[in-house]
Amino acid sequence: MKSNETILIDHGSGGKISNQLVAQMMLPAFDNPILNRLDDGATLEIGNRRMAFSTDSFVVDPLFFPGGNIGDLAVNGTVNDLAMCGAVPQYLSMALIIEEGFSIQKLQTIVNSMGRAAKTAGVILVTGDTKVVPAGAADKLFINTAGIGQIPAHVHIGSANARPGDCILVSGSIGDHGMTILAQREELGFSADIQSDSAPLCHMTQALLKACPQVHALRDPTRGGVATALNEIAQKSGVGIQIEASQVPVLPPVSGLCDLLGLDPLHVANEGKMLVFVAPEAADLALRTLRANPLGAQAAIIGQVVDDHIGRVYLKTPIGGSRLLDMLTGEQLPRIC
């Protein structure tokens, strides 16, 4: 990075340029083996327990959207990062940055949503902070959550643990959250047909990890979408990935809107879906376990891990072709979460 460069929207996309910023700036400044693993959260040894610790800031615009608001999104986001570490989420912090003049009634609605989302996920919010900045110094409201959860002794998963032969599952339709936000922002009139999938995945992950010790890796495809998450797993695990395009569940209004706008649903953010990497002999059990949960009713096996084209993801198209599926490059939509 040259010294006269400036931060671009793309640096926060969650895609390729975000990863470069982390690799070139953050890792050297804080160099330590826990951070260097770059999982969805950090894994810590505290006494005789293994704990996961994660944080996310939420800057979504608009604050209210079909399927949720910034408050439940902020709770579910950190809950899901902990769940992807295999942890049972337990404790959350909340830090608000509020623009002067913001409606107290709206804030109350958002805070109450956070309270309900925490209860649904089984976490308790134990500490917080509130900052108010003058009008114009922030756009309405930003929320940070950090969370702590315990990783059960029998769980040993990680984004470097995918192995050739593993089946790859997705827990439901993709792109719902991102296209919902986009439809709201662009006022495209599609809003009635789609809603955010914002939801806590922790109960489903716990059932899955209990039923299937053969699960090797979990990932929630938020910013950057399924394509970016798959590329990260391929690179960290040193494996190749093949995805069957025809097997990836996409709701018709989402695929219609993506077609219209020239977007690939595989690059669109999700807030209540996960990818599962599981040994092939347990793939059917994993699929049944996901489908037994309402949040996983549309789960599908979408591909497999191979020992070819290491670090890269290929997509088999319905007409028999195969193309490289890269991480998100260029930001489709700022402030999606």
From CA 39, how far away is CA 53, in angstroms rounded?
10
Residue 139: in which H helix or E strand, if any? Answer: none
Site stretch for its own copies (CB under 8 A), options 48-56, 154-162, 192-200, 255-263: 48-56
Report if residue 48 touches its own copies, rule: CB under 8 A: yes
Tell me which of 16, 64, 66, 115 binds its own copies, using CB under 8 A. Answer: 115
From CA 168, how far away is CA 303, in angstroms rounded?
5
- Among residues 279, 310, 120, the alpha carbon closest in space to that of 213 is found at 279
Residues 220-249 contacting its own copies, CB under 8 A? none
Give the residue with the Cβ less far from its own copies, 37 or 291. 37
Residues 145-184 contacting its own copies, CB under 8 A? 146, 148, 150
Report if residue 87 touches its own copies, rule: CB under 8 A: no
Shortest gap between Cβ of 5 and its own copies (angstroms)?
5
Site stretch for its own copies (CB under 8 A), options 98-106, 158-166, 253-261, 292-300: 98-106
- Among residues 113, 109, 62, 55, the alpha carbon closest in space to that of 79 is found at 55
Tell me which of 16, 66, 107, 264 binds its own copies, using CB under 8 A. Answer: 107
What is the layout of strands, in order, in the sheet containing 88-99? 42-46, 49-58, 141-151, 88-99, 124-133
Report if residue 100 touches its own copies, rule: CB under 8 A: yes
- Alpha carbon of residue 65 to chain centroid: 18
From CA 227, how far away is CA 225, in angstroms rounded?
5
Give the residue with the Cβ less far from its own copies, 58 or 190. 58
Report if residue 1 touches its own copies, rule: CB under 8 A: yes
